[in-house]
Amino acid sequence: MLVVSGVTSAGAGTPAAAPAASPPTVVPQPSPGACPTQATTPKRDLRAMWVASVANIDWPSKPGLTPKQQQDELTGWLDLAVKQRHNAVILQVRPTADAFWPSSYEPWSKYLTGTQGQDPGWDPLGYAVREAHRRNLELHAWFNPYRISMDTNVNALSPSHPARLHPDWVKAYGGKLYYNPGNPEARQYSVNAILDAVKKYDIDAVHFDDYFYPYPVAGQTFDDAAEYARYGNGMSLADWRRDNVTTFIREVRDGIRKYRPQAQLGVSPFAIWRNKATDPEGSDTTAGAQTYDDLYADTRKWVKDELLDYITPQVYWSRGFAAADYEKVTDWWARQVTGTRVHLYIGQATYKVAQNADPKWSEPQELSSHLDFNTRYPQVQGNIYFSAVQVKADRLGATSLLNEKWYSRPALTPASPWLDDEPAAPRTPVVAYARGGQVTWVATPGATSYAIYRVAGRPGSCDLADARNLVATVRDSQGAFQSWTDPAADGGTYVVTAVDRVGNESAGRVAG
């Protein structure tokens, strides 16, 4: 007889005798396609919002807040994610060649204190990872690769900033300063600065958005002629620039695999790789920017070569928008990831809700309709929303409508078994008992979290096929015993599964 009782929801407690029970029942995971499922309750579905720090867009709300105020604000965003039934947060931690952690390479960000290089008195990234994981949220650390500042005033940078110490690394363009991607030393320094965070923190992913070479500015030239002459190696200028960016992506990917092999690499590019008029392989769009030609980011190649673990194109247009129809762009990306292991998530423009420029965004259901369209494509495995303040604003009630239909249940993040040396699922948990609404079980070796299902009657494998019966996901608390209390506690049979760091899920154990 297993002896457990008095276990708190945090996991550890004082053992006491549990009542004798019949042997627990194991519920196997169903084979793919073996069970009917509901599109509105997917079991695997990445859900997240971007929390932008550049220019204090989302967090901190302004520079110069006390550490306690900054922590409270950040905790509020994490709690909002939980309320939205999200399972990840994308937090910007290197907005302008600076840091939201005590970096060995770059100064503290001015968006924390108002003065670049000034110690804020706490470790924001360390706090974010710890608090996100406590809520069983993934923390994707979002870095800008090359941007140094939002203006061209080098003297405004901290005296020890690498850009001041190495002016040959720096290019002014479009009213901003950038590290030159064509300078191998500058590129390697950026890679090292990012890997500094990877080494130090238990992050779940490194995340880049759409900024590689800067967006073109009419009448201006990105002056890298000297570097091209030195390092071009016979390539055209455009091919050389693309190679520089792909080299950067590959070097970051290799560093992640070396220092934190279970962490992911994800990119959220501008959604147009190339227009069909430019390239028959491109999307049926006429949008102005093309990442391949304008940002020198060959995002399609990164997918085909599986340099990424996920890609999140910013499909920031409405359904039926003439220049770039949400449906056509999403369809194109679904075809690009087919046959690869790269997860496809869609970047959603929550910020456009109630925007007058496109009447479709004045319709409260537009955002929710995107997820309805996504159900046609099993390749689409989640959505990320820009940005946190817009999610919280819930203009026109559009986010509430979306949540009511699509996020009525929790969801597990898509599994990435290729990141694990042992891709098999963890062992099935040993469940001690369910008494009232409290479920208690013994911790499972290798489990990062647990999924808890509540089923009416005797559970079968099809009850685990989607999230209809999923009532909670909880983080492993590092104790010998784990426990969760159902706030509804309205009866039913509980089943607990173990989930490892890369998302593999065990068979379920019925609480006796």
Give how far Cα 263 sits from Cα of 103, 124, 199, 205, 402, Å: 19, 19, 11, 5, 29
pLDDT of 19 strictly over 60: no
Domain ranges of the chain: 26-38+423-510, 46-145+184-418
- Give the residue-averaged pLDDT of 41-64: 98
Q: By three-state DSSP, how is residue 472 classified? A: strand
pLDDT, one tens digit per residue, over 338-364 is: 999 999 999 999 999 998 789 999 999
Confidence at residue 506, expressed as pLDDT on a 0 to 100 scale: 97
pLDDT of 448 strictly over 60: yes
Nearest to 414 by CA among 204, 258, 249: 204
Contacts 24+ apart (CB under 8 A), 130-135: 131/74, 131/75, 131/78, 132/78, 132/89, 133/202, 133/475, 134/475, 135/78, 135/79, 135/81, 135/82, 135/475
Q: Is residue 102 packed enough to be buried (19+ CB in 10 Å), middle (13-18) or exposed (0-12)?
A: middle
pLDDT of 8 strictly over 90: no
Confidence at 375, pLDDT banded by 50, 70, 90: very high
What is the CATH T-level fold of the domain 26-38+423-510, as seen in this structure?
Immunoglobulin-like (2.60.40)
pLDDT of 22 strictly over 70: no
pLDDT, one tens digit per residue, over 176-228 is: 999 999 999 999 999 999 999 999 999 999 999 999 999 999 999 999 999 99
pLDDT of 13 strictly over 90: no
What percentage of the chain carries pLDDT values higher than 70?
95
Instruction: Tell me the average pLDDT of the chain.
Output: 94
CB 431 within 8 A of CB 29: no
pLDDT of 316 strictly over 50: yes
What is the CATH T-level fold of the domain 46-145+184-418, as seen in this structure?
TIM Barrel (3.20.20)
pLDDT of 20 strictly over 50: no
Confidence at 488, pLDDT banded by 50, 70, 90: confident
pLDDT of 21 strictly over 90: no
What percentage of the chain carries pLDDT values higher than 90?
90
Confidence at residue 24, expressed as pLDDT on a 0 to 100 scale: 58
pLDDT, one tens digit per residue, over 72-107 is: 999 999 999 999 999 999 999 999 999 999 999 999
pLDDT of 62 strictly over 90: yes
pLDDT of 306 strictly over 90: yes
Confidence at residue 150, expressed as pLDDT on a 0 to 100 scale: 97
Asked whether the CA dihedral 14, 15, 19, 24 is positive or negative, the reply is positive
Locate the DSSP E strands across 31-136: 46-51, 88-94
Confidence at residue 288, expressed as pLDDT on a 0 to 100 scale: 87
CB 386 within 8 A of CB 349: yes
pLDDT of 1 strictly over 70: no
pLDDT, one tens digit per residue, over 124-154 is: 999 999 999 999 999 999 999 999 999 999 9
Confidence at residue 7, expressed as pLDDT on a 0 to 100 scale: 33
- Give the residue-averaged pLDDT of 44-70: 98
pLDDT of 23 strictly over 60: no
pLDDT, one tens digit per residue, over 288-302 is: 899 999 999 999 999
What is this structure's pTM?
A: 0.95
pLDDT, one tens digit per residue, over 224-260 is: 999 999 999 999 999 999 999 999 999 999 999 999 9
pLDDT, one tens digit per residue, over 98-117 is: 999 999 999 999 999 999 99
Confidence at residue 356, expressed as pLDDT on a 0 to 100 scale: 79
